[in-house]
Amino acid sequence: MLTTLTRTALAAALGGAVLIGGTTQAVAASPPARADVFADPVQYVNPLIGTGNGGDVVGDINDFPGVDTPFGMMQLSPDTVGSGVGYSYGKSSIRGFSLNHASAGCSVFGDVPILPTTGPIGTDPGNASATFSHEHEHATLGSYDVLLTDSGVNVNLTAASRTGLLSFAYPAGSTAQVLVKSGASLGGNSAASVTVDGDDEVSGSATANGLCGLGSYTVYFDIKFSQPFTAHGTWQGKTVTAGSAGASGKGSGAYLTFDTSSSTTVRAKVGMSYVSVDGARKNMASEIHGWNPTPVQQQTRAAWRRALNTVQVGGGTAANLTTFYTALYHSLQFPSVFNDVDGRYMGFDDEVHHVPAGQTQYATFSDWDTYRALAPLQAMLFPKESGDMANSLIRDAEQQGGWMPRWPLANVSTTGTMNGDSAVPLIANTVAFGGRNVDIARVLPIMLKGANHSEELGWGWQERQCVEEYVQLGYAPNDACSQGAHGRQGVSETLEWSIDDFAISQLAAAIGDKRTAAQYQLRSQNWQNTFNPTTGYLQPRDERGAFPNGPAFVAPPANAFGQDGYDEGNAADYGWEVPQNMAGLIAAMGGKDVAIPRLDTFFSEINAGPNAPYMWMGNEVDLSVPYVYDYLGQPWKTQAQVRKIEHELYPPTPDGLPGNDDLGAMSSWYVWSALGMFPVTPGRADLALGSPLFTHAVVHLGNGRAIDIHAPAAGDDTPYVTSVRLNGHRFDSTGLPESVVTRGGRLDFSLSSSPDTRWATGPHDAPPSYQTGQDPAIGFTDPSGPITVTAGDTKQVTVGAQGTGLHATNVKWTAHASGGMTVSPSSGTLHVAADGRASTDAAVSVPASTDSGFYPVTFSFTTSGGQELPGGVVVTTVQAADHTAIVADDLGNPDVPNGLTVKEEGDGHTTATTAGGLPGRTTTGTGSFYMYFNIDNSLVPGGKYDATAYISYFDQGTGSWGIQYDSYGNVNNNAYRDSARVTNTNTGTWKTAAIPLPEAALSGRENGGSDLRLNIGAGSQVIGRVAFAVTGDNVLAMHLASAQPVAPAVTTQPADATANGGPVSFTAAATGDPQPAVRWQASPPGGDWADVSGATSTTLTLTSPQDHPDGTRFRAVFTNLAGEAATDPATLRD
């Protein structure tokens, strides 16, 4: 890859120039700009940077090369064939020039591709494409040009905020056609329409799938042509109808034929709107007048010049200037304008709203990615616009019932992508860095609601799913509730919510709400509850409180996207995810002597991907990690690592970013870092220092002030800071005061090619950490998770506490055993130094009569003053004698997992339903054909097993279905080996099928690290329970459920009752697997049994027994997948 060359070598190899997209950009051949001369930013923007693929780890970067304005609604750009998000530099065919794009990680947008062609329309115009080469492609701000080589059509694109102008220059004498692919959005369409209006206009709409296929939105368009078309027609799929003036449905479109005998150039003016076709027409009429593209290009270029000149830099190489200003350009594209010129926009409630006067409604927030670096950059440079963006999110929340959105796109109420409650720190960073007129008092109650309560919205998304557990336990358990797109993510959820709670604290403090500020500052320390002193890492905990055993980092399966418990990452790169209290985290690790070598090892690689225990610059979680050395008293390593990343991962080439840009997240890191600073604490204007890349930079703050940065020796080879002066005074800290962001100031850096190991290395020279509410110690056990004990045996465990750097403390511990276990001693006291640890031993004894199962032994820790401290849990595991693990998941709403969890994957999303009066799950429909499952790896690690599946299903229809499972056998596609199939017989009853799974590996090689999937089709087959019995070496022989459903058996009969003027109650109970549902029935004397409305608990209370005749009988009926059982009747007497 080009990224493996130094820029000097790169320039030499290309004769002093870098060739991108058929344009030659000078690198070493051009002398650097003088320190007192600021470059014109427009000439240094290359939109083709970030349009390529950086290899297996980086993948497609997904920036687009077309035309847009700062934060514009329209992103008019080519889409290459086979590129899910639009354009990929390595492709050679264009499917069309579509209206909207986003540098996201899933297929989205690319609505209404427009493609000029020559010759006959053919039988499949919807899939028509045109070849091109980069030799005849040119992208600049305000203009994109390309020659379609097979047709000879020259294309030019330019655009205003909501309107584009496309120019098609056809070869003389050719048959000129324009294809309008109304139903060909990149993410797929559920509906579309196109109408030919007269002889020079086409309008319509496209209802497209949201990000990653979640939700949908509708975009409207109107296209006017510079000359009349002489013929037209439409298509639906592969059915082409000449002369037709309308078509609808996905895969629909229209074609137009032009006479180019007098003029070979046809121009198309296209307006877009998310409200209506009329809105698109008004946008067009307001923004582009006439047919000359030159004024539009000039106006758009001027808008970008104004935007980019908010940060003026000089004294750098052409290569660095190109990377910098292209990164700044990519940082000012999203969020995008969402309201029409008349102020109307489509709300999250699917109603048309008017944006308040003087404001703009914005949409499409990659909030998890962008709250860290992009939001503070935009707020600092564009306070008015960023304030409007924050208020847009507030309006979005109000329109969906008072819940903050997560990765909202257009007016899709939320895509729910990624974890955390990231709109919260995005708004907090907006406020901290200067965003204007953000209505904190209005949004704070909404944030507090989501921080304490969960509720399903739309397709099943929750703002903070199962947050009630988090509030109760102080962490998010690593269970089905923390399930995300790539697996369970309990650690990530806890760490992000701790950051979110810190952000809430800062917003509350900003409006004088001291009580809320204090409460959420305390909650911001919940990271401590996932810190495991036994390993020194932040790790997942189960609902009992146990950590996993063994090392913190465990290599994920080859096809997984991260380690269990972590979203798109692992224990190593999430090990630094406490930006609000880095000092506390470092102390808990064991201090600098432990943290520094760990961080050094972490930087052995700088873009390692989600499955390796090293730095992954392409993941937003790691964006601030290079600056952790500032907290460790070794700022020269921050300076070196930042420059290395800038140099190796950000070349001015199509593959010139370390990962998916995520609407500017990656680009904004470069902007900050090239200026020599980075925002490190979400919700505060804290800037950690690196070193400037340019000799002079002026950052124009939105309030009229500026940050004036001077570094005369700056360059690729001089990253090391030897001294800093702030406003003329010596400055020996790696954390700038927040006043720099609000009031500006002058920074003078002295830089060197050799590290200075003395500057800003003292204990008080680090950026701030917010330690209020931090505990003085964290309790632990070793081992920290399950221990296997044979009934009748005893195991030794270590009980200890780790100081967190605050002060020495006496820690009292007490053991609480279950299942008849005993612990000796059962309590004690440890003296723990501020930055040290203390421990003792205890013995856990298991009675000989103990059945197979998990038996937690909880160790509670308190200070001598009674303050509760985070603690540890040892789960004592007693194995079954048959060497078989039995796991099950009872499906419904909610699921009841026992060692087996259903997973939501791209082609396997499920929804709760009922059949035959009992709960179950089915696939969601179009595009979802499978139901994925993962067996707890602590019970069944990958290996060679004998396994049997027991599937309880509702027998309806006459179709067949089966299992595809991970096998070690010598079969085709053994990660998805087919089982024997089950054929339904349409009895309308629940049945259980036993399906053998020979040569089962169950090593997590299916999507998202799953072990197997049910191949049940789209949305028809209902599954009530899935269980597996697995036998083999390394199996943890636990019977967590019965293999087959067990019919209800009544254990408590209701007793007769007499009404003495007051309420009476009947109580019943039954066992069964799954746990039986209950309903009560009543039978008046001589009458039939009938259900009592709403009586579905084990106790029936009659508040007005006089309403029932003397002698009325009552009974409870228990039902599950295996059958039904009724109690004996109980009689009510007056």
Quote the percentage of the chain above a pLDDT of 70.
96
19-23, 94-98, 474-478: least confidently modelled range: 19-23
pLDDT at 335: 98
Least confident of 63-72, 110-119, 664-673, 928-937: 928-937
Q: What is residue 613's predicted lDDT score, i.e. its pLDDT?
A: 97
- pLDDT for the residue numbered 128: 97
At 105 the pLDDT is 84
Confidence of residue 882 (pLDDT cuts 50, 70, 90): confident
Which residue type does 657 have?
L
d(CA 504, CA 770): 14
Distance CA(276)–CA(193), nearest Å, equals: 12
Strands (DSSP E) contained in 181-309 are 189-197, 201-209, 216-225, 231-236, 239-242, 246-248, 252-258, 265-273
Pairing of strands 77-80, 114-118: unpaired
SS3 300: helix
948: which 2 tokens?
A: 């049997």
pLDDT at 485 over 80: no
DSSP 548: P
User: 411 in helix, strand or coil?
Assistant: coil
* pLDDT at site 5: 27
Provide the pLDDT for residue 41. Answer: 96
Per-residue model confidence as pLDDT tens digits over 219-249: 999 999 999 999 999 999 999 999 999 999 9
Given a cut of 90, whether residue 519 has pLDDT beyond it is yes
Mean pLDDT, to the nearest integer, of 851-857?
A: 88
Domains 777-878 and 1047-1133 share a fold: yes
Lowest mean pLDDT segment, chosen from 738-742, 923-927, 1030-1034:
923-927
Query: Using CA atoms, how far apart are residues 942 and 1004, in angstroms rounded to an integer?
Result: 7
3-state secondary structure of 610: coil
Q: How far apart are CA 485 and CA 857, in angstroms?
A: 32
CA nearest 949: which of 1040, 1005, 1008, 1013? Answer: 1013
Residue 23 has pLDDT above 50, yes or no: no
Q: How far apart are CA 248 and CA 55, in angstroms?
A: 39
Structure tokens at 1014: 């049910």
Average pLDDT of the residues in 131-153: 98
CB 454 within 8 Å of CB 490: no
Q: How confident is the model at residue 637 (pLDDT cuts 50, 70, 90)?
A: very high
Contact 804, 863 (CB under 8 A): no
Give whichever of 7-21, 521-535, 1029-1043 has the largest mean pLDDT. 521-535
Q: Which residues contact 290 (CB under 8 A, 6 or more apart)?
A: none
Does residue 11 have a pLDDT over 60?
no
Report the pLDDT averaged over residues 784-811.
93
Domain ranges of the chain: 1-28, 66-308, 345-551+559-752, 777-878, 884-1044, 1047-1133
pLDDT at 459: 63
Asked if CATH classification 2.60.120.430 holds for the domain at 884-1044, the reply, yes or no, is: yes
CATH among 3.40.1710.10, 2.70.98.10, 3.30.70.1450, 2.40.170.20 for 66-308: 2.70.98.10
| Most confident range, picked from 48-62, 588-602, 930-944, 1032-1046 | 588-602
Is pLDDT at 490 greater than 70 in this prediction? Answer: yes
Residue 31 has pLDDT above 60, yes or no: no
> Which pLDDT score, from 0 to 100, does residue 7 have?
30
Q: How far apart are CA 786 and CA 873, in angstroms?
A: 9
Q: What is the reported pLDDT for 488?
A: 85
Comparing CA positions, the residue from 671, 668, 652, 674 lying closest to residue 51 is: 652
The yes/no answer on whether domain 345-551+559-752 falls in CATH 2.30.180.10 is no
Task: Check whether 466 has a pLDDT greater than 70.
Answer: yes
pLDDT at 37: 57
pLDDT in tens, 57-87: 878 899 999 999 999 999 999 999 998 889 9
| CATH code that applies to domain 777-878 | 2.60.40.10
Contact by Cβ (8 Å): 644, 6: no
CATH of region 1047-1133: 2.60.40.10
Whether the CB-CB separation of 98 and 65 falls below 8 Å is answered with: no
Interval 296-313: pLDDT, tens? 999 999 999 999 999 999
Burial of 597 (0-12, 13-18, 19+ CB in 10 A): exposed
**pLDDT of residue 719 exceeding 60:** yes
Q: How confident is the model at residue 479 (pLDDT cuts 50, 70, 90)?
A: confident
